[in-house]
Amino acid sequence: MADKLRIQLPRHAVTTARLGALTTIYEVTSKVVDDRFAFIPTEACVAILQGVLGRAQQLFPLIDVYGFHFLSNHLHLLIGAPTLAHKSAFLEWTLREISKRINKLLGRTGSLLEQNHCIQVTTLEYALQRLRYIMGQATAQMLVRHPADDIFASSTPSLLFGKPVEGVFQYAGQAPLQVRVRIDRLPGLEALSEKDHRALMWTLADGLAAEARPKRKKAGVRIPDPAALRRIDPMTRPKERHRSPAPVVHGPAEHHEEWREAHDALRAAYTVSTRRYYAWQADPSQVLIPWPPNTLPPAFARPRRPRAGAA
């Protein structure tokens, strides 16, 4: 259990412009099982994905969403969360609902998403880089010329045009809810006017398009027609799988070392607490040792998990 311990570095928390409270920024990535193209950008699929995300924001109001993108066989979220428990509850609900509803749309059963990778972003500079990376998903894959042309479910229409990002969420037996995904201002950019913020986003997008152009030309790839993208069989898999090792944090080199040292220390303390807990179960006279701060205790040891709809 401790080998997969998720921690946070509280020293790198920032103040969210929306709530005026400390939050930790994370990039979340989750792949579709077997790399299937389950997130084909049909109208129905986009409405479901954005509907789930919009509903999640209503149920977990302490979570910021700075950017997102669903590209064929994987998703990216750039979020802010006040605690590991809040982040965990938000992701558990959101990814479960996405899996359930996309499975129903595709007429399939079983697991849809692999375990998510959640990486802390430790500086505002790197946060902007990750937002740029997320915005450029379809452009980098040579599916569109420019992020402004992106047809996949994403935060790009809001960031570039100020358009509402809307979806549909429906509980069984109830009328569908029209919901909107709130795209929060990334910490560090709150002083920018709406005009200046949009200009910055366009600078990022134009740079992505310029970077992709020579690569696309060298590869001899033609941009597919949007209608053709929407007709792709969701059970399609990529011809090549690109895997790269994930960093422990998105930040400068010294923050990587800081994370490793903290993780080693917290993992050791976490193991001691877990062993003491099992000893206490066998002998209640044993003294319990609290799980270390800045970790997520096992589910059975959490005093009260933040629930959907709880502030």
pLDDT in tens, 102-156: 999 999 998 999 988 999 999 999 999 999 999 999 999 999 999 999 999 999 9
What share of the chain in percent tops pLDDT 70? 95
Out of 3.30.70.1290, 3.40.50.11890, 3.40.50.2020, 3.10.50.40, select the CATH number for domain 2-252: 3.30.70.1290
pLDDT at 2 over 50: yes
Q: Does the pLDDT at position 1 exceed 60?
A: no
More confident call, 270 vs 302 = 270
Ramachandran assignment for 180, one of left (phi > 0), alpha (psi -120 to 50 degrees), beta (any other) = beta
CA 129 to CA 118: how far, in whole Å?
Answer: 16
Q: Which two tokens stand for residue 156?
A: 């790009």
- The pLDDT of 15-28, averaged and rounded, is 95
**What is the distance between the alpha carbons of residues 26 and 11, in angstroms, rounded to a whole number?**
14
Q: Does residue 238 surpass a pLDDT of 90?
A: no
pLDDT of residue 311: 47
| pLDDT at residue 239 in the model | 73
What's the whole-model pTM score?
0.94
Please provide the DSSP assignment of 53-117 as one string: HHHHHHH-TT-EEEEEEEEBTEEEEEEEESSHHHHHHHHHHHHHHHHHHHHHHHT--S--BPPPE
The confidence score (pLDDT) of residue 301 equals: 67
pLDDT at 172: 87
pLDDT per position as a tens digit, 61-107: 999 999 999 999 999 999 999 999 999 999 999 999 999 999 999 99
Q: Where are the domains of the chain?
A: 2-252
Report how far residue 177's alpha carbon sits from residue 169's, in angstroms, rounded to the nearest whole number. 5
SS3 141: coil
Instruction: Judge whether residue 28 has pLDDT over 90.
Output: yes
Return the H-helix or E-strand segment holding 181.
strand 177-181
